[in-house]
Structure 1
Amino acid sequence: MKMPDLTDTQALTRNRARAMRAPALFLHEDLRDEIKERLAEVNKSFTSIAIVTGFPDFWREAFPTARIIPDDEVLALEPGAFDLVIHAMALHWANDPVGQLIQCRRALQPDGLLLAALLGGQTLYELRACLAEAESAVTGGISPRVLPMAEIRDLGGLLQRAGLALPVADSFARKVHYRDAFHLMQDLRAMGEGNALNDRLRRPTRRAVFAKMAELYAQAYAVDGGRVAATFDMVFLTGWAPHESQQKPLRPGSAVNRLADALNAAEIIVPATKGEG
């Protein structure tokens, strides 16, 4: 049985279209620069690139020769057609993230590279906590408001499930300071990262909830100058389509040198104990 969708894809599309009227894509700019830096460190040139994204104009400008693919449930990627696939700032909204990675893996040529950049589980933990506390205090309940994003330890496992070799998951925290919590929420709309959850509240939220949230936010997360801090957990997933040239772990017992010799230490052999019947 298919699990209920987490994301309302129509609402997500509307949010992204609205954001482009006056976009705030500094996170995409950070990711673009980081991806280009990482690619420069890879001893390989890429000639057939696909980028999966909900912001085609930005990424087309960043990689003019790349093929831009919308982050639909079924990706328009031909099997074995690319030596580099970049999944850019969209995987955290996917209803089936493993399926997205599997499709990217199938689109890679042998020894092709997948780079996925997304928001991780510590993103907006401040806003999440303050909204929950404020809504509970004002209404006596909590409704889904901030996308529940995966932790890096879970995301790394997705690469292996997708059949990618040499998987690596790493992250860094991007701290941004805002005038107040309302300024942060305005920026989220300009990023296209507003609430697009399927189970979101479908009626207007009482003003008292947001007023209480802003008060709690200012109390708990104030920084110098009277501003407040927000955290964006930037996660990078890297994996390669398997190829015979890639390094492989040694089989147990196949080592040709002893650890004791490498450490220049005496080897201590502990005799086995005989089990009692």
Structure 2
Amino acid sequence: MTQPPLVFDRQRLAINLARRDGNADFVTRLVVDDLADRLAPITRRFGTALVMGPDPRLLPSTIHSAEGPVALTPMSTLLDIKGYPRVDPEHLVLPRTDHDLIVSLLDLQTVNDVPGFLERLQRHLAPDGLMIAAAIGGRTLTELRDAFLAADVEILGGVAPRVAPMIDVRDAGSLLQRAGFALPVTDLETHTVRYASPLALFDELRALGVTNPLTERDGRMLTPRHLMRAAEIYAQRYGDPDGRVRATLEILWLSGWAPDPIQQKPLRPGSAKKSLRDVLGDKSS
């Protein structure tokens, strides 16, 4: 089989994340809160459930569905943290294959083999088990990409790879179907975050441990001149009248169910007993 390209340097990502020392960040808090809102209306009891993510210390151990509390087993997909099981999303093997619920939070944008990861998640679900995943969406930090692109062209005479590729919502549904999920659903949550200055945004990205995780990153050091020029362009193009700057954060949510004969199936084309004209009336006159 053809191996997927190694887009992400996962060892570098682990080193970056380890520097945070388990400190929570607003992105993870936002995703965990949104997960709670999404699971709350589901009328299902989840007896065997787990949640995985790069830093397991930031993951919830309990969440609620409409049927009551759900006990989650947090698992790490990147950091080696004492007391937490570690799994490799590139070659995922879990202790059991009959989970009622598997949640993946912020893994997909650091995995090289996304289709394979989703397929392995599906194989570890019980029939009619649910998978929910959150990832950073494709329009996240478009302002930052634009500013560095302009600075690179101006100073380097070309473009340097700095921002990781992200999953587009138009591709997410087909990825779920390809992985064998039934009833796939994808949607986006878009947030505009404001910072005192571009440098404040740069500092937060360093604190989050997500600075340039690409395998093919540019080996040249980012000079202060280059950084300041990118910050100037950012402020010029995306500054607000009060002096603050905008940054787009897009969270992509994916969900799907392991196939099961009891699931509701779409009607066969042509099987409807009433036509649309019967319902709406004849509008030709």
User: What TM-score, normalized by structure 2, do the two folds share?
Assistant: 0.88
Determine if the alignment matches structure 1 residue 48 to structure 2 residue 48: yes
Show the 5 A alignment for 1:144-163: 144-163=161-180
Give how far 1:38 is off: 0.9
Unpaired runs of 5+ in structure 2? 64-69, 78-87
Determine if the alignment matches structure 1 residue 200 to structure 2 residue 217: yes
Paired residue secondary structure (2:207):
helix
* 2:75 aligned partner: 69
* 1:274 aligned partner: none
Contact 2:24 2:58 in 1 (8 A): no
Paired residue secondary structure (2:138):
coil
Could you tell me how far apart the structure 1 residues matched to 2:211 and 2:110 are?
11
Amino acid at match of 1:19: R
Could you tell me how far apart the structure 2 residues matched to 1:61 and 1:186 are?
30
Show the 5 A alignment for 1:250-261: 250-261=267-278
Could you tell me how far apart the structure 2 residues matched to 1:19 and 1:62 are?
24
Q: Which runs of 4+ in 1 moved over 4 A?
A: 60-64
Over the aligned positions, Cα root-mean-square deviation in angstroms equals 1.9
* 1:34 aligned partner: 34
Specify the structure having the higher radius of gyration (Cα). Answer: 1
* 1:84 aligned partner: 101
Could you tell me how far apart the structure 2 residues matched to 1:172 and 1:196 are?
24
* 2:152 aligned partner: 135
Could you tell me how far apart the structure 2 residues matched to 1:128 and 1:75 are?
32
Could you tell me how far apart the structure 2 residues matched to 1:129 and 1:227 are?
17
Determine if the alignment matches structure 1 residue 58 to structure 2 residue 64: no
Give how far 1:9 is off: 0.8
Note closer, same or farther for the CA distance 1:14–1:248 as it changes in structure 2 (3 Å cut). Answer: same
Paired residue secondary structure (2:242):
helix
Contact 1:69 1:75 in 2 (8 A): no
User: What TM-score, normalized by structure 1, do the two folds share?
Assistant: 0.90
Note closer, same or farther for the CA distance 1:131–1:263 as it changes in structure 2 (3 Å cut). Answer: same
* 2:196 aligned partner: 179
Contact 1:119 1:234 in 2 (8 A): yes
Give how far 1:79 is off: 5.0
Unpaired runs of 5+ in structure 1? 269-277
Larger RCO: 1 or 2 (CA < 8 Å, sep 6+):
1
Give how far 1:61 is off: 4.9
Percent identical residues: 39
